[in-house]
A and B are shown apart, each in its own frame.
Chain A
Amino acid sequence: MPKLRIEAEVNGRKVDRETEPHKRLLDFLRDDLNLTGTKEGCGAGECGTCSVFVDGKLVKSCLMPAGKANGAKIETIEGLAKPGDLTPVQRAFHKTGASQCGYCIPGMVMAATSALRENPQADIEEIKERLGGNICRCTGYTKIFEAVEIAKGVIAGTVPETALEEDMVDDSFIGANVRRLDAPSKVSGRLKYAADMKLPDMLQMQVLRSPHAHARILSIDTSEAEAMDGVACVITAQDVPGTDGFGVFVHDQPIMARDKVRHVGEAVAAVAAEDLVTARRALSKIKVEYEELPGLFDPGEAMAPGAPVIHDYAQDNLIKHIPVRKGDVAAGFAEADLILEDDFSTQQVEHAYLEPEAGVAYVDPDDVVVVISPSQNISHHRHMLAEIIAKPINKVRFIMSPVGGGFGGKEDMIYQGMLALAAMKTHRPVQLNFTREESLIASAKRHPSRVHYRMGLKWDGRITAIEFDMLSDGGAFGMSSEGVMRKAAILSCGPYEVHNLKVDTRVVYTNNTPSGAFRTFGGMQAQFATESMMDMAAEALDMDPFEIRRVNMMKVGAKTHTQQTLETASLDRVLDAAEQASRWEKGAPRVRGATRKDLNGPDTRQPCTLGARIKKASKDSDESERVA
């Protein structure tokens, strides 16, 4: 392949390299120059983890062919400050705690630096606008904006440099603003996530995924791919030496599709090759013959007779049913003055952590299979993998790399097994970095759920009985479904003392993308239904929504839905605080019209408008004919 020569200045140093012509600036920086502070969160211009300066202008390096770097001056996160030092912007991020998982942070620091370089006097609206191309999934934006404002003041000299130093801690750390120990590694881009790691002689893995939701695999022919120059190995389910199957509760998921595929995006085969391009080209040479099967896409149809069966072991497609019973529901409803009944549904949600799944595996000199990945559950993964690759537990090692956001989505061992198999087959280190699209299609999602709700109430607002029936779409594999249903059942009726309840949560297999762990673990779906019911009950009973909650809240001594007696309870204080903070206007829902006084207070976030700088520019230009 012809080479591309790049002569550039990178972080103040001359660079003269030859590289592949098709590389993006992002690849050139990360792969050729090892400047891995610049990340790839999406590869499509959407996230800003790859922001770098080119000739003084901030750009997204995933959208820039490397050729454009020729003759240019490039500045990356590593070049902002001297080694061991941090810029005021970086120090401000450290100060305010604007670095949770840290994956977005180098890009954020670059965007903040650019905003303040472009306009050192930028007001907060303009700062927000200028950071609009960078997204963060875990810090949230408040601390980031706070940091940019402090840095702005320090740079302009209107705020003393001491503002960047750590706040004093008195006698307790609780409630104190303590800096994160790991923040400097994140704000400087030095922290190595799995995709940033490089081992000598490392292969790149790519995965062939199913285009079908439900199909039998008739044959997989990997011979042509295997024969390609640069391909080290191709693996399929046939390469699994032990007992295949993983999952948080039920081990129903093979490392790669075995005999059939159950959702679009399921791994079918994987290639490890000398480089990414070869691995991708090899994928197109793998021939898979499928016989399509009828698909099951609606959880409501999963338990109907004659529905397609997704897993042989579960002929009724039921992954788990969690029933909770307490008191006498019939008596409770009989006692009610009012019975409300409704249905609630919530949708599938993607975690969208900024770090796509990534990992490295190798076999160490003592034949220990080592997997490095941002797994949220390494011990469990280790035990499962030992079974799958038929090795004693002391020959399997998992190392948790920094997690660039997980939110539950990295609990499932959806790729670590493939890495291990390829490392065992080649005895070379193997790396797999998901693309964003791959992460979306292959990783678990929040369970889409439907709840049928019945609530009996007295005129004074007391709940006499609840019937709560949830049906969740587990998708193609069990993953964390059982735990999620358990949690949904335990939390179902909310923090209210209900003497008579009948709760059922069920989760079923379908051919949709698997559902798994996601922040609140089933609690959100249940609370959406319960809290909506509470508001509707307040409306029906003409009560203040806070009041109806106080009437029913669990207090010390209350029995939870699962009949645990509470020794502490804090809902009263939570409600008081929420009522106060929201400047709640007391009264039943109908008393507030379009003119509610508790809306749009000074601390309410206003809807966004763009373009403050346009007006400013034309005004400034009238004065000086120059614009920043």
Chain B
Amino acid sequence: MLTYDAYHMPTSLEEALTLWANAAEGSRLVSGATDILPWAREGRAGDVHLPEMVDVTRIPDLDGYAFEKGRIRLGANTVYQDFLTDVTLMRSLPCMPYCAIWFADDQIREQASLAGNLVNASPVADGTPAVVALNGEIELARLDGGQIVRRRVPVVDFITGPGRTQIAEDEIATAVIVDACNGFGGSFQKVGQRRSLVISVACCAALVKTDRDGRVFEDVRLSLGGVGPSPIRMIEAENTLRGERISHGLIEQVAQTAADRVGSRSRQDYRREVVVNFIRAALEDALADQPDIDVKFEDQEEQINA
């Protein structure tokens, strides 16, 4: 059971940062609370008493999103359901709707923020591989001599281990900045115990862009979650694919090499097998998801011609 003495709902970033800087030790920031509340239960943290909670969801600065030079700045109050209801976001971040549809359920997605998911830094968080594939950065703000100062940290570096990030004590995450990937096909693979309401055992995000004819990989982004303490960007695999003629054989070859990236000690054989299938399925689904492009696999054409 979670108890606390005060629940603050600041309505400006400055007010929030001031409250946060002055909050008693052990206080917590809270966004959707979908991680914090279940955490303070039997079998996890048990009963927890915190001095203060600073809720960031009423800070207008953290709302909405804006395009900036090929990137999108998602306010920290962006929740997972937004990736299923906002058509602009769905188009520009093609892996996010698939990530979102497998994330918890419709109700939790209304509360669960992308920023909270990243700051919580669970090794099996669904958002991290997707954001990493989108070259995501997290924006952090703090007060310095009464002035708001901000910095941006790439999400691959931000998450340093299970539950550990580079966020400083006095910082609040204000945004997540990602590539706008219009024209890409996206996909997200996840295995968990059942359909809704499960945390991943492992997950994988992909973004793919081909040439107009659907023959050559122009750009590929691949990342894995749940296979190590922090998300893994599959740079080598991406490089192998980029510029190459699309074929099932090539995809299979890349998928096989991915198994070696599995670092998690628990259920390693299982995770290795899953990862190979993931990479294959992620690439194929992302290829099929590209708007208005009909992908032509080299080896499939051969078969037809033969």
Contacts and interface: CB of A to CB of B under 8 A. Distances in A.
B84 interface: yes
A65 B196 contact: no
B33 A63 contact: yes
Interface residues of A, number: 52
Interface in B1-48: 1-7, 9, 30, 32-34, 37-38, 41-43, 47
Contact of A435 (B3, B42, B57, B101): B42
A44 B104 contact: no
Interface in B96-138: 97-98, 101-102, 104-108, 110-111
A280 B84 contact: no
Interface of B: 1-7, 9, 30, 32-34, 37-38, 41-43, 47, 53, 55, 57, 81, 84-87, 90-91, 97-98, 101-102, 104-108, 110-111, 195-197, 291
A88 to B, nearest CB: 21
Given A44-B38, A63-B108, A133-B104, A277 B197 contact: no
Contacts of A68: 9, 33, 55, 57
Given A65-B53, A618-B291, A45 B38 contact: yes
Interface string A38-77: 0000011110100100000111101111111010000000
A276 B81 CA distance: 34
A66 B104 CA distance: 21
A608 interface: yes
A280 B87 contact: no
A22 B111 contact: no
Given A437-B43, A621-B87, A67 B110 contact: no
B101 A65 contact: no
A130 interface: yes
A62 B37 contact: yes
Contact of A608 (B32, B104, B195): B195
A277 B291 CA distance: 55
Given A45-B197, A437-B42, A617-B90, A63 B7 contact: no
17 contacts: A4-B7, A21-B4, A22-B3, A48-B105, A57-B110, A67-B9, A133-B197, A277-B1, A435-B41, A437-B42, A610-B102, A611-B97, A617-B84, A617-B90, A618-B87, A618-B91, A627-B86
A595 interface: no
Contacts of A276: 1
Contacts of B57: 68
A20 B41 CA distance: 19
Interface string A19-35: 01110100000000000
Smallest CB-CB A-B distances: 9 pairs: A133-B105, A132-B196, A67-B7, A437-B42, A621-B87, A22-B3, A44-B38, A611-B101, A614-B97
A284 B84 CA distance: 44
Contacts of A284: 47
Contacts of B291: 618
Given A22-B2, A46-B197, A610-B102, 8 more contacts: A2-B5, A60-B111, A65-B30, A68-B57, A437-B42, A610-B195, A614-B98, A617-B90
B107 A59 contact: yes
B90 A618 contact: yes
B7 A613 contact: no
Interface in A116-136: 118, 129-130, 132-133
Interface in A602-623: 608, 610-611, 613-614, 617-618, 621
Given A21-B6, A611-B101, A64 B33 contact: yes
Nearest to B188: A611
A44 B108 CA distance: 11
B83 to A, nearest CB: 9
A137 B25 CA distance: 43
B275 to A, nearest CB: 21
Contacts of A70: 9
Given A45-B197, A65-B55, A627-B87, A437 B41 contact: yes
B106 A130 contact: yes
A150 B89 CA distance: 34
Contact of A280 (B47, B86, B110): B47
B197 A59 contact: no
A444 B39 CA distance: 26
Contacts of B108: 45, 59-60, 63, 133
Given A132-B105, A132-B195, A611-B98, A617 B38 contact: no
Contacts of A111: 107
Contact of A22 (B7, B90, B105): B7
A114 interface: yes
A614 B195 CA distance: 17
Contact of A277 (B3, B38, B90): B3
B90 A65 contact: no
Contact of B33 (A2, A4, A65): A65
B110 A1 contact: no
Contact of B107 (A4, A133, A437): A133
A59 B81 CA distance: 12
Contacts of A22: 2-5, 7
A610 B103 CA distance: 11
B130 to A, nearest CB: 14
